[in-house]
Amino acid sequence: MEIIRNIDGKLKAWFDSSRRKPLILRGARQVGKTFSVRAFAEKQGLQLVEINFEKKPAMRKAFDGELTPSWIIAQLEILERKEIREGKTLLFLDEIQDCPRAITALRYFFEEAPQLAVIAAGSLLEFALGTFSFPVGRVEFMQMYPLTFREFLTARGYQKVLAHLPQLSSLQMDFSETVANLVADEFKNYMIVGGLPEAVSAFLDTNSYLAVVKVHDNLVTAYLDDIRKYAKGDLQMENTRSLLANIFGYVGQQVNYTLFGQGDNVKRTKKSIDLLCQALLIYKVRQGFPSDLPLGSSAKEKNFKIVFFDIGLGQRMAGKDPSEIMASTNVLSLFDGLLAEQFVGQELIGESEVASESGQLYYWARDAKSSSAEVDFLVLRNGAVSPVEVKAGKGGSLKSLHLYLNEYGGRGIVMQDIHAVQEIKNLVFCPLYTKL
């Protein structure tokens, strides 16, 4: 079954834009960048000229000389034995981090060949981008993430169900018991499978969790092996590997660097967390203050929370077996109830243009001896900040959320394991999968 991604429409809008620029597609390894570009070219009837600098290092020679597009295109046409034509061809420079001069050349494609559609992508591309300065306005960036829960439902053939799922802008919903049970079953599937396209494809083809486990185990090996490409020195590599292997156990908790070690190990841990963030395998949720916008302007760095990039892979890395998850009457109770916060955080990041500042997430906390408090997420909607409290069950205290609302006002959002929407005074109670 074809996997339809949210990014498909974004790629179409980019291609149709009269102000189109070379596009740099960003995202962690194995989130589906290459697949999406290939599928897009096919749907648009474009000839795809795909240059993979990792598989075909000889292609780098096309960028060894002058960086004028006419020269580069002439070299690529000879090497690929394909004609590259404006309006007819999509030039895809994959694994571009292995050819730094190709990254530099993107600005010249914009200036001298703006009608040629050019997309660049690569695994660990973030590390290469950090060494280059892109002239403002010469290139465009687009981010890819694992499949969201809504994308997962679509892949499973339940696209019509999406119209029944709640979103904050329209809380009315027609949610029958049949639909509620179906969504609950698929929600549990998503907890196991996650949103990495290869794992989703394996599940669609086989309906087997064992097939998903095999994919996850291979991906874990690949992600751990990748660390040697960006962590320098044996001690740093070992620290980063250990952190990645164990980090899912800390999702949803307030942490700091000293939690993971003392002395020089704290410095290495800080570097490791920064590296894993740069590899887009984890996201730091920083402490923000709704009185200061943008939220990042006064965000604190000492304490933070972590969201792993994919909930299915994270649970596998943490040693959870699918049978244990399926046998649980309340899957969200695993990991002390913090899976709910992981799920919501991952969904918010996947919908980053709606709910956060440039893909960055924030939480609110007040540290006081008499009344400390914490609200899980601060969501930016229509220029205003809304506090979001995530609950694994149907009950629980909302003391922190009330403290926040008393101090800052606004409307609070409570996301929990329910299948209905209810608004009570200044609080909205809604399912975990509500689109904010």
* pLDDT (0 to 100) of residue 369: 66
Give helix 209-230 / helix 177-193 axis angle, nearest 10°.
Answer: 40
Task: Tell me what the pLDDT averaged over the chain comes to.
Answer: 89
Residue 52 has pLDDT above 80, yes or no: yes
Q: What is the pLDDT of residues 267-276, one digit of tens each?
A: 999 999 999 9
Asked whether 63 and 21 are in contact (CB, 8 A), the reply is no
* pLDDT (0 to 100) of residue 64: 92
Give the rounded percent of residues in the chain with a pLDDT score beyond 90: 65
Dihedral sign, Cα of residue 354, residue 355, residue 356, residue 360? negative
Tokens of 351: 């919908």
Identity of residue 8: D
Q: What's the predicted TM-score (pTM) here?
A: 0.92
Residue 15 has pLDDT above 80, yes or no: yes
Tokens of 111: 């200036």
Q: pLDDT-derived band of residue 203, with 50, 70 and 90 as boundaries?
A: very high
Give the rounded percent of residues in the chain with a pLDDT score beyond 70: 93
87 in helix, strand or coil?
Answer: coil
Domain 7-143 = CATH 3.40.190.10: no
Residue 353 has pLDDT above 60, yes or no: no
Q: What is the pLDDT of residues 83-132, one digit of tens each?
A: 999 999 999 999 999 999 999 999 999 999 999 999 999 988 888 877 76
Asked whether 59 and 51 are in contact (CB, 8 A), the reply is yes
What is the DSSP code (8-state) at residue 148?
Answer: P
d(CA 414, CA 426): 11
Pairing type for strands 427-431 and 422-424 reads antiparallel
* pLDDT (0 to 100) of residue 370: 64
Tokens of 350: 């996947």
Cite the residue boundaries of each domain of the chain with CATH code 3.40.50.300. 7-143
Torsion angles phi and psi, residue 20, rounded to 5: -65, 140
5 in helix, strand or coil?
Answer: coil
